[in-house]
């Protein structure tokens, strides 16, 4: 009699455990189904938008989409003064990483190509220094490095093409207006240009 009772208790435990697992599976499936059906409104570029563009209502339109795990990757709204740190093609969703704080009115976005690859720590939003070494007039003279910019925000990074086994990215920097002449002169000169992390 005791053996029979023991078997019944085991069967009850097994049945209860099976029912519990089934209910848990139903709840998980329901949550996943609910998530798959949820949609949000996202911002889509109305036209080709260049880096440095200050977003306005005319630049975007709304699209109702279900992006699942990528829901936080794209903009659903923007604050007044939001600026694009990289270009966005017409019809594309606007990535959160493509935006930055508004450019100060006394700065302009300028694209810089360093002579050598820079630290991988430098990303959009990083603060950097810009150094320039003029090309020496002859082999007997050495030019001194000149710091052209400090504490300057990186607005965008454009991937460079691989050449001779290495790729050098272009950097779009927020250059103060009073430094524009010196920066553009340096870019046009056959000298050494270096972008260095501020931190």
- For 78-101, the pLDDT digits (tens) are 877 788 877 888 999 998 888 876
pLDDT digits (tens, 9 = 90+) for 7-44: 556 667 777 777 777 777 777 766 565 555 578 889 99
Whole-angstrom distance, CA of residue 119 vs CA of residue 152:
16
148 pLDDT higher than 90: yes
6 pLDDT higher than 50: no
Whole-angstrom distance, CA of residue 86 vs CA of residue 98:
5
Residues 112 and 192 in one domain: yes
What is the predicted pLDDT for the residue at 31? 59
125 pLDDT higher than 90: no
69 pLDDT higher than 90: no
Residues 26 and 45 in one domain: no
Burial of 130 (C-beta count, 10 Å sphere; 0-12/13-18/19+): buried
Residues 190 and 146 in one domain: yes
- Provide the domain limits for residue 141: 107-197
Which residue reads 């139903």 in tokens? Answer: 26
**Are the C-beta atoms of 124 and 52 separated by less than 8 Å?**
no
Q: Which residue has the higher pLDDT, 84 or 142?
A: 84
Residues 49 and 126 in one domain: no
Residues 52 and 115 in one domain: no
Residues 128 and 190 in one domain: yes
Q: Which residue has the higher pLDDT, 105 or 62?
A: 62
121 pLDDT higher than 80: yes
Which residue reads 């085991």 in tokens? Answer: 10
Residues 141 and 168 in one domain: yes
Q: Which residue has the higher pLDDT, 106 or 193?
A: 193
Residues 158 and 76 in one domain: no
CA distances from 153 to 47, 49, 176 (A): 26, 20, 11
Q: How many domains does the chain have?
A: 3
173 pLDDT higher than 80: yes
Residues 116 and 185 in one domain: yes
């Amino acid at each position: 009699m005791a053996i029979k009772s023991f078997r019944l208790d085991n069967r009850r435990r097994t049945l209860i455990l099976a029912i519990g697992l089934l209910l848990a599976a139903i709840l998980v499936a329901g949550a996943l189904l609910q998530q798959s059906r949820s949609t949000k409104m996202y911002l889509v570029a109305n036209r080709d938008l260049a880096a440095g563009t200050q977003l306005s209502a005319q630049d975007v339109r709304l699209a109702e989409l279900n992006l699942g795990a990528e829901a936080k990757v794209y903009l659903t709204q923007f604050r007044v003064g939001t600026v694009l740190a990289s270009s966005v093609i017409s019809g594309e969703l606007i990535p959160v990483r493509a935006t930055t704080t508004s450019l100060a009115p006394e700065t302009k976005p300028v694209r810089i190509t360093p002579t050598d690859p820079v630290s991988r720590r430098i990303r959009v939003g990083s603060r950097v220094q810009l150094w320039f070494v003029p090309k020496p007039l002859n082999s007997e003279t050495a030019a001194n490095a000149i710091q052209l910019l400090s504490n300057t925000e990186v607005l965008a990074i454009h991937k460079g093409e691989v050449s001779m086994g290495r790729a050098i990215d272009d950097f779009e920097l927020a250059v103060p207006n009073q430094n524009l002449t010196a920066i553009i002169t340096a870019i046009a000169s056959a000298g050494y240009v270096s972008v260095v992390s501020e931190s």
